[in-house]
């Protein structure tokens, strides 16, 4: 059986990963990513779905695009956005799954169904 752990990251690599996580550290950008999990949307559709202003949606999409999380496709006067690739969608699902499990555990703990973990 081979060891599949990645090699330790260089300072440059750590900074690049941190930059991408900073791009995700905003509720509005996460909301837009969630909408894009459904498929491709133009800015108007994202404004409607997110209830953010056009300027805010555009600003957040620019950050997400620069970080490599979304791609854009121009069609006439419209620009359509989608998640950059399946890895981005996978990252979203991993994080959502982790949060969902934590919420479910907290609810079971509150109902007395499980004991609290000890440090």
Query: How confident is the prediction for the chain on average, in pLDDT?
Result: 91
Q: Which residues does the chain have with pLDDT short of 70?
A: 1-3, 119
Going 27 to 28 to 29 to 31, the CA torsion angle's sign is positive
The DSSP bridge partners found for residue 75 are 78
pLDDT given for residue 96 in this prediction: 86
Distance CA 64, CA 82 (A): 11
Q: Is 50 helix (H, G, I), strand (E, B) or coil?
A: helix
Q: How far is CA 17 from the centre of its chain?
A: 14
pLDDT given for residue 2 in this prediction: 55
Write down the residue that tokens 């791609």 correspond to. 71
pLDDT given for residue 79 in this prediction: 93
Other beta carbons within 10 angstroms of residue 26's beta carbon come to 13
pLDDT digits over 18-52, tens only?
999 999 999 999 999 999 999 999 999 999 999 99
Give me the domains of the chain, ranges plus CATH numbers: 12-84 (1.10.10.10)
Instruction: Write down the pTM of the prediction.
Output: 0.80
Residues 54 and 22: beta-carbon distance below 8 Å:
no
């Amino acid at each position: 059986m081979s060891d599949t752990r990645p090699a330790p990251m260089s300072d440059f690599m750590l900074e690049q990963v941190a930059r991408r996580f900073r791009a995700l550290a905003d509720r509005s950008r996460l909301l837009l990513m969630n909408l894009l999990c459904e498929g491709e949307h133009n800015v108007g559709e994202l404004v409607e779905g997110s209830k953010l202003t056009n300027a805010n949606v555009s600003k957040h999409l620019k950050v997400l695009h620069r970080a490599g999380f979304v791609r854009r496709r121009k069609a006439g006067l419209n620009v359509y956005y989608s998640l950059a690739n399946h890895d981005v969608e996978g990252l979203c699902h991993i994080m959502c799954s982790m949060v969902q499990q934590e919420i479910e555990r907290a609810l079971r703990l509150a109902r007395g169904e499980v004991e609290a973990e000890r440090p």
